[in-house]
Amino acid sequence: MANEEHPAVTNFRNYIRIKTVQPTPDYATCTTYLQGQAKEIGAECQVVECVPGKPAVIMTLPGEDPSLPAVLLNSHTDVVPVFPEHWLYDPFGAHKDEAGNIYGRGTQDMKCVGIQYLEALKRLQEMGGESGRFLRTVHLSFVPEEELGGLQGMGRLVDTETFKRMDVGVALDEGYASTTDAMKVFYGQRNPWWILIKCPGQPGHGSQFLQNTAGEKVAKIKSSTLHGIPEQELRPYPIFPTPNSTPSQLPSVHLLPNSQVSFQPMCTPSQLPTVHLLPNSQVYTLPVPMCTPSQLPTVHLLPNSQYSHPCVHLPNSQVYTFPVPMCTPPSQLPTVHPPSPTPTQNAPPPPLAITPASPLSTAACSSTLSRRAVRGLRRPHPAVGDRGLPEETRRVVRGGGGGDHVMEKAVTCVEDGKNPWWDAFSAACKKMGVVLEKEIFPASTDMKYIRKLGISALGFSPMNNTPILLHDHNEYLNEEVFLRGVDIYAEVIPALANLRPW
């Protein structure tokens, strides 16, 4: 019948109805449901509880050559809390309106993707023949606790022998919706920098008007932080708009034609460009890929900028950061050379600038509360065989004062011709007519644990022409957009799972 619901949509709605909502997710019901899904696709299934009561369900479809690194299709089962009084429909009722919009917590984040994996595999198996068989093993992981940071989910799972035996070569995980025709793919993510602030103060009875109390200091810190948000929101994204500008990348330095370059690890000062910066910001970042010294760009300053202490990380770096406070005539701007490996006492650290969507750069920072210095940059261990990528980078920033504050930053190479996993993924999307926009994820996902191991990982939720409603009231996804995602994954999964070794 014309009005009969597609079975994939019915399955999606059934999954939404399982209340895996934090802080008391119903993992038991969810696990039973997923075990049934594993039987439908003929997958081996195991339940791993790294933390009691918080199960990860792992499905495995063995490949024809199990010695090859496998494909991991990851999703998380938990969802964030809801305020039902602000919803049009029951957040766990999976109501579908006349327009085909399915309302429910997790419709975008990210139960849709988990079901798209499963339904794509079912479709491939129904097609028969070679369509349902793969060269490489395919794993599906449904992990808990992502909405709480994943520390008791994927964070624990990657350290288990179970995960090591899975021999993952590439992983797919969540992205988020796109409001345009294009679809977003994420190859890295913003990194938190945890800061511990201690406020000593005068003790005494609360009925007295005490001076210099700890509570007063905490209140001032909270107030100054909140007051800074409107100022950051008013900052332009970016100062120089470009077709590729995204909030997560903020390209605030304008380059001349040879801009898609970076520096060799052994650049000498004579090989470095003159760096000129734009107005109205304190920190600008210059994200660049790879090149030779002969391709170094010249970055020109527009009027009304001022040079400040440079913090330029050249060796083994993909991003260069230049702090700029106020303005000065362009004629007074110097050539920027790399600093010595160890910051000198006479070189003041640049001002701390926190933006709503910071790129993958890290500068030595300072503020009235804390001072941090970049102590070193390093790469992960070189990849072996076709398991990982030389382009995977990890940056470690250690802070001083109250102990080490470590930030690890890893990205997956998404340059054509340099990463076979990316080439296979992007070719499959192109075949489906998908226009991809490559971005850094502005928040955090479980892929931070995967990339930390040097494994290629892409965040991709095939939802275009859709409002971004993850964690919002009245989260929904249109059934046609959902089904289009199934179509896309039915092309992407075999493209990755049948990728020949290189």
* CATH code at position 139: 3.40.630.10
**Confidence at residue 26, expressed as pLDDT on a 0 to 100 scale:** 98
- Domain assignment present for residue 105? The answer is yes
Q: Do 20 and 140 reside in the same domain of the chain?
A: yes
Report in angstroms the alpha-carbon separations of 357 from 189, 220, 394, 441: 10, 24, 19, 9
Which stretches of the chain drop beneath a pLDDT of 50?
Answer: 1, 237-243, 245, 247-406
Could you list the residues known to form a binding site for Zn(2+), using ranges: 76, 109, 147, 174, 471
Q: Which of 408, 423, 494, 433 is nearest to 456 (CA)?
A: 423
| Domain end point (choices 361, 393, 418) | 361
3-class DSSP assignment, residue 366: strand
Q: Give CA–CA dist 129/7, Å, rounded.
A: 22
Q: Do 335 and 476 reside in the same domain of the chain?
A: no
Q: Do 15 and 131 reside in the same domain of the chain?
A: yes
Q: Do 474 and 330 reside in the same domain of the chain?
A: no
- pLDDT digits 0-9 by tens, 143-188: 999 999 999 999 999 999 999 999 999 999 999 999 999 999 999 9
Q: Which of 300, 56, 41, 26 is nearest to 160 (CA)?
A: 56
Q: Which of 388, 501, 422, 497 is nearest to 61 (CA)?
A: 497
Q: Do 125 and 258 reside in the same domain of the chain?
A: no
78 tagged catalytic: yes
146 tagged catalytic: yes
Structural domains of the chain, count: 2
**Confidence at residue 222, expressed as pLDDT on a 0 to 100 scale:** 83
Q: Do 352 and 252 reside in the same domain of the chain?
A: yes
Q: Do 53 and 138 reside in the same domain of the chain?
A: yes
Q: Looking up tokens 């600008």, which residue turns up? A: 284
Catalytic residue of the set 40, 44, 65, 78: 78
Q: Give CA–CA dist 399/328, Å, rounded.
A: 32
**Confidence at residue 410, expressed as pLDDT on a 0 to 100 scale:** 86
Domain ranges, residue 23: 7-191+410-497
**Confidence at residue 409, expressed as pLDDT on a 0 to 100 scale:** 67
- Domain assignment present for residue 489? The answer is yes
Q: Could you tell me which residues come within 8 angstroms of residue 455 by beta carbon, excluding any fewer than 6 positions away?
A: 168, 169, 170, 171, 387, 388
Report in angstroms the alpha-carbon separations of 191 from 178, 357, 408, 473: 22, 10, 8, 26
Q: Do 175 and 285 reside in the same domain of the chain?
A: no
Q: What is the overall mean pLDDT for the chain?
A: 74
- Domain assignment present for residue 301? The answer is yes
- Domain assignment present for residue 366? The answer is no
- Domain assignment present for residue 229? The answer is no
Q: Looking up tokens 């179509």, which residue turns up? A: 487
Q: Do 256 and 165 reside in the same domain of the chain?
A: no
Q: Looking up tokens 């290629």, which residue turns up? A: 456
Q: Give CA–CA dist 242/88, Å, rounded.
A: 38
- The DSSP secondary structure of 151-174, one letter per residue, reads TTTHHHHTTSHHHHHH-EEEEEE-
* Amino acid present at 283: V
- Domain assignment present for residue 164? The answer is yes
Q: Do 173 and 306 reside in the same domain of the chain?
A: no
Q: Do 275 and 423 reside in the same domain of the chain?
A: no
- Domain assignment present for residue 148? The answer is yes
**Confidence at residue 62, expressed as pLDDT on a 0 to 100 scale:** 97
Q: Do 187 and 242 reside in the same domain of the chain?
A: no
**Confidence at residue 411, expressed as pLDDT on a 0 to 100 scale:** 93
Strand partners, 283: 323
- Bond before 297 cis per omega within 30 degrees: no
| Domain end point (choices 337, 361, 385) | 361
Numbers of helices and strands, H then E, in the chain: 9, 17
380 close to 392: Cβ distance less than 8 angstroms: yes
| Domain end point (choices 361, 396, 421) | 361
Q: Give CA–CA dist 421/106, Å, rounded.
A: 28
**Cβ neighbours, 10 Å, residue 414:** 23
Q: Which of 368, 396, 227, 255 is nearest to 322 (CA)?
A: 255
**Confidence at residue 239, expressed as pLDDT on a 0 to 100 scale:** 36
**Confidence at residue 236, expressed as pLDDT on a 0 to 100 scale:** 52
Catalytic residue of the set 119, 146, 173, 391: 146
Q: Give CA–CA dist 204/484, Å, rounded.
A: 64
- Domain assignment present for residue 198? The answer is no
